[in-house]
Amino acid sequence: MTRLPPLWSLALAVPLVLSPALAGLDSRWSALFFQWRGARSPSPDPVLLAVDAESLSLDQLLTPAERSASPLWRRMGPWPWPRELQAELAAAVLERGARQVVFNVVFTGPSRFGAADDTAFERRLAPWRRQVVLAAAYSTSERGGLEQAQVQRPVYGGFPRLGLTALLQSPRGLVEAIPGRAWIDATLADFPGIHPLPLAYVAAARPLPADSVGIDFSGPAAALPQVPAWQVLQQAEGFWRGRTVLIGATAPELGDQQETPFGSQSGAQVQLAALATVLEERGFQPLPSPLVWLLLGGWTLLVAGMLWRCRQVGTTVAITVGIAAAGLLGAGGIWALAHRLPPVSALVATPLLGGGLRSWSQWRHESRERAYLHQVLARRVSPTLLRDILREPGPIWTQVGGVRGHCVVLFTDLMAFTPFSAVLPPAELFSLLNRYFEAIAAAVIAEEGLLDKFIGDSLMAEFGVPRSRGDGVEALAAVRAALAMQASLAELNAELAAAGRPPLRQGIGLHFGEVMAGNLGSSQRLEFTVIGVSVIVASRLERLTRQFPDTPILISGALLALLPDQLEVVCLGAHRLKGLPDPVEVYGLLGLR
């Protein structure tokens, strides 16, 4: 049967398929890239001749005597200004060598100052009619539940150059682009006559591209090259020569404030950024479609290859975040260096979606493994010790080697079990041993001991390794565990007697002493255990119980010394145990006092 590819690898293709839909989110990244890049030094051309707050309130800024010194100052006051005054501002810079003047003021309808004002405007600028660009506006309004659109054109027909002030906004309301030919044709299709082109392209005398062009904002409003209108004549000689001058309002009280990546700016300041973008050829455009598909296809394969190598959830998460960050930085580099806006959303979504699903899948798999290993460990060590191991993991559980320490070693074995096993069917024998081990192992776990190993019908356990609660505490825990084993065996024998089976007999040996505790084995498989003379003593004491059937639990004098007033014992004298040079004081454990 053909094996399906993993879900996470299929998820990598989702951003590739949905990249056209994700393109609408890329403008958000563009604004973020502006913030990362920060402000740059703007070009001195074009320059804004600003109708600012100072120019509107010269009566408060200058004395009457100071205002009378300039014909322009005398006529400046609250907005709107006479059109003749605005023409004088344009003429002032044109007479001083300005290359052209671009109005960001739409002169719709007759002047409120009368027909003479309109006549004066046209007459004053007639010598430079081909160096003046007038503005047209596109606006929409809702009336009676219907959206109405209109194009407002200036009333002066003697000026051949006309530019549209409309700019495009992102879904978040940030001004972001100059409309292209496609937008002009689609939006103005129902309007008669020749459609005006964007103001920036008319002023720059550049061909209008089909697609919209992102505006390269140089920085906040305060950093833009601008001169207050009332200081037009105060600039150094040659200041205006050869420059493109944009005339427009910047005073906040006049409205027309628009949001940009660098904060709120007036419409005139935004038009200045648009004009500078076209003049300097720094506009942002999307990557061509073939290049987008090539980029996303290669990116998807790269992400798939890197995620495939990740075998653990932590590594996958780190690689996923790293790839997403690299994609974002790479997109920012393309944006800053090539002035192209790549499919940022798709580049970031590819590793996040694929890596997120792969991390989730690995987390589920590792969680199942941890739960299983926890269950396995819980059957070998006490819950308290297990929590201690998991809370402070260390090389004691993972590296070959050991350390010296002291602990209580417990050995227990069934006496005369071989003949017993000869008469039982294997399945019944197996079941009986499991019931027996369940009972005695529970006693060790309950006293927070360590189940070392099962050997046939024998059990080895330790109290005090790998961490000790104190010699006396561990000794008392081992004694309680041994007595609990005897009690559990008595219950099991009662069940056997009811079933007509002979009882089981058990011997237990306990000794306290020095051991070497650690891992034995190879780097592929380790077993935590203890070795040393103390292990031999405990094993020999368990074997010695066959000589003392009335005391199935034997302890050494070293263990009794830790609990001299807490145990009921009977002294059995000193015994030479096999393999040991010196005799060992042996006591039969009767119980706790």
Q: Which tens digit of pLDDT belongs to each residue from 221-231?
A: 888 999 999 99
Query: Going by C-beta distance under 8 Å and a sequence separation of 6 or more, which residues neighbour residue 410?
Result: 444, 449, 459, 460, 461, 462, 463, 478, 481, 482, 508, 509, 510, 538
Helix, strand, coil percentages for the chain (3-state, nearest 5): 50, 25, 30
220-to-39, 42, 268, 270, 565 alpha-carbon distances in Å: 7, 11, 13, 10, 86
The neighbouring-strand residues paired with 413 are: 458, 507
CB atoms within 10 A of CB 163: 23
Per-residue model confidence (pLDDT) at position 387? 65
The torsion angle over the Cα atoms of residues 365, 370, 373 and 375, rounded to 10 degrees, is: -110
Distance in angstroms (rounded) separating the CA atoms of residues 85 and 68: 15
Distance in angstroms (rounded) separating the CA atoms of residues 460 and 479: 14
> At CA 288, angle to CA 285 and CA 292, rounded to 5?
110
Between 348 and 88, name the one with better pLDDT: 88
> Is the pLDDT score of 320 beyond 70?
yes
State the average pLDDT over residues 8-37: 77
Distance in angstroms (rounded) separating the CA atoms of residues 265 and 504: 94
> At CA 585, angle to CA 583 and CA 588, rounded to 5?
135
Among candidates 243, 233, 174, 171, which has minimal Cα distance to 203? 243
> Is the pLDDT score of 422 beyond 80?
no
Query: Going by C-beta distance under 8 Å and a sequence separation of 6 or more, which residues neighbour residue 198?
Result: 163, 164, 166, 167, 178, 179, 184, 208, 274
Record the tokens describing residue 242, joined without a space.
């050869």
CB atoms within 10 A of CB 274: 29
Distance in angstroms (rounded) separating the CA atoms of residues 593 and 589: 11
Task: For the chain, report the end-to-end CA distance as a whole number of angstroms.
Answer: 69
Per-residue model confidence (pLDDT) at position 391? 64
Residue type at position 84: E
Residue in the structure block whose two tokens are 């034997």: 554
Longest C-alpha distance within the chain, in Å? 135
Q: pLDDT tier at 517 (50, 70, 90 boundaries)?
A: confident
Q: pLDDT tier at 526 (50, 70, 90 boundaries)?
A: low
In this structure, are residues 167 and 196 in contact, taking their beta carbons and an 8 Å threshold? Answer: no
Per-residue model confidence (pLDDT) at position 52? 93
182-to-121, 150, 178, 197, 210 alpha-carbon distances in Å: 34, 18, 11, 11, 5
Distance in angstroms (rounded) separating the CA atoms of residues 259 and 247: 20
Distance in angstroms (rounded) separating the CA atoms of residues 534 and 241: 102
Per-residue model confidence (pLDDT) at position 11? 78
What is the average pLDDT score of the chain?
87
In this structure, are residues 82 and 75 in contact, taking their beta carbons and an 8 Å threshold? Answer: yes
> Is the pLDDT score of 3 beyond 60?
no
Record the tokens describing residue 320, joined without a space.
């996923």
Which CATH class for the 393-592 domain? alpha beta
The neighbouring-strand residues paired with 393 are: none
Per-residue model confidence (pLDDT) at position 312? 87
Distance in angstroms (rounded) separating the CA atoms of residues 464 and 471: 7
The neighbouring-strand residues paired with 169 are: 175
Q: pLDDT tier at 1 (50, 70, 90 boundaries)?
A: very low
Question: What is this structure's pTM?
Answer: 0.65
> Is the pLDDT score of 266 beyond 90?
yes
In this structure, are residues 224 and 48 in contact, taking their beta carbons and an 8 Å threshold? Answer: yes
> Is the pLDDT score of 5 beyond 70?
no
Q: Could you tell me the residue ranges of all domains in the chain?
A: 7-18+287-376, 44-279, 393-592
Distance in angstroms (rounded) separating the CA atoms of residues 586 and 544: 9
> Is the pLDDT score of 399 beyond 60?
no
Per-residue model confidence (pLDDT) at position 2? 46
Q: Which tens digit of pLDDT belongs to each residue from 532-585?
A: 999 999 999 999 999 998 999 999 999 999 998 999 999 999 999 988 888 999
> Is the pLDDT score of 157 beyond 70?
yes
